[in-house]
Amino acid sequence: MSRNIKEIIQKMTLEEKAGMCSGKDFWHLKSVERLGIPSVMVSDGPHGLRKQDEQADHLGINESIQAVCFPSACATACSFDRDLLKELGTAIGNECQAEDLSTILGPAVNIKRSPLCGRNFEYFSEDPYLAGQMAKSHIEGVQSQGVGTSIKHFAANNQEYRRMTGSSEVDEQTLREIYLAAFETPIKEAHPKTVMCSYNKINGIYSSENPWLLTEVLREEWGFEGYVMSDWGAVDRRVEGLKAGLELEMPSTNGINDKEIIKAVENGTLDEAVLDQAVERVLNVIFDYADHRREAVWDKEKDHNLAAKIEEESAVLLKNEGILPLNRNGKTAFIGLFAKKPRYQGGGSSHINAFKVSDAVSAASDFADIVYAQGYMTVEDKVDEVLLREAVEAAEQAETAVIFAGLPDSFESEGYDRQHMRLPDCQNHLIQEICQVQPNTVVVLHNGSPVEMPWADEVKGILEMYLGGQAVGEAAVKLLYGDANPCGRLAETVPYQLSDNPSYLNFPGDGEKVEYKEGIFVGYRYYDKKNMEVRYPFGHGLSYTSFEYSDLKLSKECMKDTDCLTISVKVKNTGNRAGKEVVQLYVSNQTGTSNRPIRELKNFEKIYLNPGEEKTVIMELNKRSFAEYNVDLHDWYVPSGKYEVQIGHSSRDIRLSAVVELISTVALPVKVHRNTVAGDLIRNPKTAPVISGLVKRMRSRFGKTEESEDEALSDEMEMHVLDGMPLRELTKMTGMDDGQLGEFIQVLNHAANQ
């Protein structure tokens, strides 16, 4: 429908305009009936609808409508499958239309900085490229149905402890390369209708009133055209937030902050044009939904089946010593409460009221010889001797034991962080007791974040389901018995213990600040750089078949940083069953110009191959694939030099590699000053001819000539000396005074920046 929104705004009263900048209640935006502005509803997500018709909250406390709980992002990221995430988003978008929801609050793309973050199950990855790609596809799917998304939580929100007041202290390079990068791609390429700002401060400024974040980066650099909404209760100073670029405050403040806006306009401290712009951005999204509103059929059973398919594609087979797939004719003990009552989602605002839940015992009982024992309780972390004895007896009498373990609801949720990285002690004890009587033991994990596995070497198989949604039981059984072939890959590193994590000494901070001292070395970037042993590396995952890589080709051997590089590689299924392989492309900076990670994920493709089938996978890399963020340029920069393109099965399993040389088209600004070291000037081809004369004068003062063979004055030693010598000292050695030094510095600066 064609309408002139600017004309509508001109007809609005000041009170009506201020009112459009906050919620009507907990979930609805305000209407202006006389101008045809409808009230629309938003709802929590991102892996299902948490629509609340009655009592409302943002922590999952009160009941919501019956819905479909899809696998959480901690699981779906492991699919490494863009098409699958788009299919998920499309289904959620259709559900929103069926329930008249204008915007789903998600996806959440915050980086998994620490395994302890209580909300990690909602986040995709420790890697910003993977997180950005998954979010982009999810958004495209949802918004293809005429429904908006709200990518969250913008930005640097990586813990729950003091999340509403704490300040994330992050340097600019780290922010750009890690924490903002996950948002940048989906915002630029998928164009979410809204962005949700985070609770926390960033370097002392609340996200909700940060003009650099909400206007300079988000709008001016990235071209975002929708509106920014607050997380529920994230606003400190409403008028300052409006000036910074926060259009919508949620939920309602019962008119309190609307009055602040009105007052600021009336006394001249807020330009009414700023308010008008905010209202226009909100109305654009409201009317976009109204124009795409349609009747939709929500087939919950169909979506349940999709949830099962997504989980089958996302679960990660971490270990398999020939025990999987299970023998259908053998007797198997299913042990653990989660076999009958699986933990399939996290707590808090994303908590879905699932209309049904499948469990592994029921799913397997139709065709397999199953005996079940509960094994443990989740109400408290305490060994129940009766349950333990029943479980051990069941395991002894079976050919195989499958233990369904994981984190109880109380261990991880929105609102608080985990206290440690362990499973409940009673579950670890159960696993160890079972291993003593049954050598053929498999552990199936239900958790939203990595756990320590002290029993990993004792069991023969480990299947990581993460929080797999309401169909997790049937998905687990299909994978265990080989009706589905595992093809998930870890979207995060599993360290041996919590103290190995790079943020360990700086998480969660002192309550006022949390310092991101590990910088860009998050997740596998840290573990690989330190050459540290990990339990399971980023990108790891096994299959019931095998794959072979060959014939890696690059379209160029040398290229400018503005060019694109095409990579092709052949992949063959060398096993006896069909399966999917995730081809991971990493880039390794070989220039030595700065302290960079060993390798970084820059592309991936998931392919399906029948036994014996071979396909050629083609991927592309662009300038950003090789770039680092340069704080002097305040832009992305590619140092000239060699880069290795690596094809891997994980970050620790590189199968093929080839080298390409990059030529930078951007010259870094050089500022020579009295304390610039001579070594840097000698290595710079532009300044080397200028300083060479000064070096010769220094040599002559020390009696060194071209014919000198004095070992004490060798070229190698001379270079070591010059490498750390500031100009002020070198010029003293050659008799220059301060005036002459100043003139010489001007000559060097002119030469350096030609």
The model's pLDDT over 717-726, given as tens digits with 9 standing for 90+, comes to 666 777 788 9
Greatest distance between any 2 Cα atoms in the chain: 95
Q: 263: helix, coil or strand?
A: helix
What is the number of residues in the chain? 754
* Beta carbons of 198 and 152 less than 8 angstroms apart: yes
Cα–Cα distance, 32 to 375 (Å, whole number):
58
Residue 372 has pLDDT above 80, yes or no: yes
Rounded average pLDDT over 268-279: 98
Active site residue 231: yes
pLDDT per position as a tens digit, 168-180 = 999 999 999 999 9
Residue 702 has pLDDT above 90, yes or no: no
Nearest Cα to Cα of residue 45 among 228, 235, 196, 206: 196
Cα–Cα distance, 737 to 754 (Å, whole number):
26
Residue 488 has pLDDT above 60, yes or no: yes
Rounded average pLDDT over 403-416: 94
pLDDT band at 754 (very low <50, low <70, confident <90, very high): confident
Per-residue pLDDT at 705: 53
3-state secondary structure 160-208: CCCCCCCEEECCHHHHHHHHCHHHHHHHHHHCCCEEEECCCEECCEEHH
Per-residue pLDDT at 704: 53
Residue 690 has pLDDT above 90, yes or no: no
Per-residue pLDDT at 740: 84
Helix axes 385-397, 425-437, angle to 10 degrees: 30
Residue 520 has pLDDT above 60, yes or no: yes
* Beta carbons of 102 and 289 less than 8 angstroms apart: yes
Rounded average pLDDT over 216-235: 98
Per-residue pLDDT at 680: 85
What pTM was computed for the model? 0.94
Tokens of residue 466, six digits: 């993460």
- How is 524-576 classified by DSSP, letter by letter? HHHHHHTT---SB-TT--B-SS-EEEEEEEES-SEEETTS-EEEEEEEEE-SS
Per-residue pLDDT at 55: 64
pLDDT per position as a tens digit, 130-144 = 999 999 999 999 999
Residue 378 has pLDDT above 70, yes or no: yes
* Between 549 and 55, residue with greater pLDDT: 549
Catalytic choice (81, 127, 231, 561): 231
pLDDT per position as a tens digit, 434-476 = 999 999 999 999 999 999 999 999 999 999 999 999 999 999 9
Rounded average pLDDT over 557-578: 98
pLDDT per position as a tens digit, 333-369 = 999 999 999 999 998 888 999 999 999 999 999 999 9
* Beta carbons of 230 and 197 less than 8 angstroms apart: yes
Distant-in-sequence contacts of 527-530, Cβ < 8 A, 24+ apart: 527/493, 527/495, 527/500, 527/502, 528/597, 528/598, 528/599, 528/651, 528/652, 529/597, 529/598
Count other C-beta atoms under 10 Å from residue 693's C-beta: 11
Rounded average pLDDT over 665-691: 87
Rounded average pLDDT over 283-299: 97
pLDDT band at 95 (very low <50, low <70, confident <90, very high): very high
Per-residue pLDDT at 61: 60
Per-residue pLDDT at 729: 81
Q: Which residues of 588-601 are buried (b: 16+ CB within 10 A; e: fewer)?
A: bbebeeeebbbbbb
* Between 739 and 73, residue with greater pLDDT: 73
Per-residue pLDDT at 734: 76
Cα–Cα distance, 450 to 498 (Å, whole number):
9
Per-residue pLDDT at 40: 97
Per-residue pLDDT at 738: 85
How are beta strands 331-335 and 600-609 bridged, if at all? unpaired
Cα–Cα distance, 35 to 283 (Å, whole number):
12
